[in-house]
Chain A
Amino acid sequence: MKFLDDDLRGRVGLWLWRFWAMMLKELIQLGRDSLLVFAITYLFLFDVYMAGNVGMNLKNAVVTVHDADHSAASRELIYRFQPPYFKLGGEMADGRAGQRLLDTGEALVVLDIPPRFEHDIQSGKPTAVQVQVDAANTVLGFLAASYSAQIIGQYGFDQALARLGVSASALENVPMIRDEHRVWYNPNQKDAWFMPLSELLVVITIMAIMLPAAAAVREKERGTIEQLLVTPLSPIQILLPKVVAMTLVILLGTAASILLVLHGVFDFPMKGSLALFFTVTALYAFTTSGLGIFISTLARNLAQAALLAILVLLPMIFLSGAWTPPEAMPAGLREAMVLSPLYYFIEMGYGILLKGAGLDILWDSLLGLALLGMTIFGLGVWRFRRQFG
């Protein structure tokens, strides 16, 4: 009596045959889960696309004016607040109304021009205008304040020159420092390059944790793991096909995102080797799945798994440099960044795709990712084997 067919006698052949069966099963199941397919499509395509359209730029900030002077000078100053940064939101009769508009969020900037503004300028007396800025959103508030200061300063400078009767060309003889900076890697400082790439790397992270966690916890929730445990499959043989299948799905999603969104919509430069980028992504997705596996051993159902995933994801993203540059972190947290695999992945993702860097420069990040990733994966596998071994 024989229990195995002859051509599967070899243990390696049998192992691969089972691996193939399990991986196929994972892909079929994923394909049937329309909600998950929707989430994958949405995150890899639309979410990345949207990230390219919302930047931290000052755009059409509403400026409301209280002009107590109503003179040519005051009008000129007001009209220097121009799109795309500013938009005039009309005039108020009363200075105190400005406070209310800031409170309700109807205006971001309130410009208050005092009476006798023109008269004072023309008579050479010092004068002042008041600018109130809503800095509830600190970035926007900071940008609005500094742009306003620049506009008003330039206006004062122009007025001073005019009053001295000096033409702009005469300034060439005045000693001045000209600021000639160069911006590298993203010369136009396009948010539409930086933001979608950053978002894509975060989406890869979410998927690398959530997909294997969902696949593993679903088996627990529906009791199918019991059936697998009485088959000759070892825990590794149950686990590995899941991780490989989900890594494949992530690579596919990444390829679609880069081709359709980064390249297709935003005309991303794509400086470095795509092969290197996909290799790094595969390594990252595979090893980070260890966190998902770990979560699946703790959670009893999908809802718990999702909650735990958020708990893991938030510090991981926070410590990665995706939202805050490392230099801006306080000392303790900056050191903790080496514990976030996403930190290395972002280093390498930016390095390869934006700067065109190769392994000669990025080897240390790769080493860090490999070591950290293997530790995480090992932890997940250890927990899984302990639970189901």
Chain B
Amino acid sequence: MADIWDGMRAAFWLIVQLDADLMEITLRSLHVSLTALLIACLIALPAGTWLAVRRFRFRRAAIATLNAFMGLPPVVVGLIVYLLLSRDGPFGVFGLLFTPTAMIIAQVIIITPLVMSITHQAMRELWSEYHDLLISLNTSRSQRVRTLLWDGRRALLTAALAGFGRAIGEVGAIMIVGGNIDHVTRVLTTAIALETSKGDFALALGLGFVLIGLSLVISFLTHSLSQTERSGRW
């Protein structure tokens, strides 16, 4: 119990003093996770919607596979990306291993199925509502996808937030491909793992509270910017 108090105190002082190292790793966490989220959304939102409106032969198998990939073990993704980016691996010439880019690549692979699956679930409901209308208006497939994306934007926000949550709290993959190098690839989660391994639970917990706080701030910001949960709105 004392450790938890120490952790809260550590978190408080870290934030109040605007600790330079804390700012740096927090910004790097945000940079990596938000970039990964942006790329994942660019892929997953249209693809998930497309999956909802399109009927094809292996649709059921595709959706089942997608849902299974939501639980892709990060540490395995990390290991595979590591082997691909290692100098011995097929993409070794780019020298991307142990850079933030490598961390972004791993996170894109981890969160894209998640965002895509949630998008697909939401869009399937919406499509059953819009189906007759959009068909009768003789819309093209890309028009349908765009209409659904726009009208379902609030559900997509949830999908994006879920993806962000998974990315910012992830440690297994980015530890392997990033290497937790101080001032280069150290982020909040890998710093927590490091401090825990040193037995410095107070600092580790302090960083943990900062991480949780960060998620809260991001969530509140997106909700207030998109003006959800206001009177007169759904």
Q: Are A and B co-members of a single complex?
A: no
User: What is B's interface to A at a CB cutoff of 8 Å?
Assistant: none
User: What is A's interface to B at a CB cutoff of 8 Å?
Assistant: none
